[in-house]
Chain A
Amino acid sequence: MDSNEAIFNGLKDAGIDFIVSVPCVNLSKLLNMIDEDGEITHVPVTREEEGIGICAGAYLGGMKPAILMQNSGLGNSINGLKSLTELYEFPLLMIMSHRGTEGENICGQVPMGESTPLLLKAMDYKFFKPAHPEGAYEDVKEAWDLSKEEGKPVSVLLEIKYW
Chain B
Amino acid sequence: MARREAIEEIMKYIDDELVICNIGFPSRELYDIKDRQKNFYMIGSMGLASSIGLGLALAKPNEDIVVIDGDGALLMNMGSMVTVFANNPKNLTWIVIDNGAYGSTGNQDTYAQKLDLVDVARGVGFKNSHNFKDINLKEFIRSDDASFIVYTTDSGNSNAAIIDLTPIEIKNRFMNSI
Contact = CB atoms under 8 A, between A and B. Distances in A.
Interface in A92-142: none
A61 B177 CA distance: 11
27 contacts: A18-B55, A43-B54, A43-B55, A46-B79, A46-B82, A52-B48, A53-B45, A53-B48, A56-B52, A57-B54, A57-B56, A57-B59, A58-B56, A58-B59, A60-B40, A60-B174, A61-B60, A79-B46, A80-B45, A83-B44, A83-B45, A84-B42, A84-B48, A87-B43, A87-B167, A88-B170, A88-B171
Interface in B1-59: 20, 40, 42-59
A46 B60 CA distance: 22
Contact of A58 (B58, B79, B80): B58
A45 interface: yes
A49 interface: yes
A50 interface: yes
B79 A45 contact: yes
B59 A89 contact: no
Contact of B59 (A50, A60, A80): A60
A47 interface: yes
Contacts, number: 120
Interface string B138-168: 0000000000000000000000000000011
Interface residues of B, number: 35
Interface of B: 20, 40, 42-60, 63, 77, 79-80, 82-83, 87, 167-168, 170-171, 174-175, 178
A43 B175 contact: no
A63 B59 contact: yes
A83 B43 contact: yes
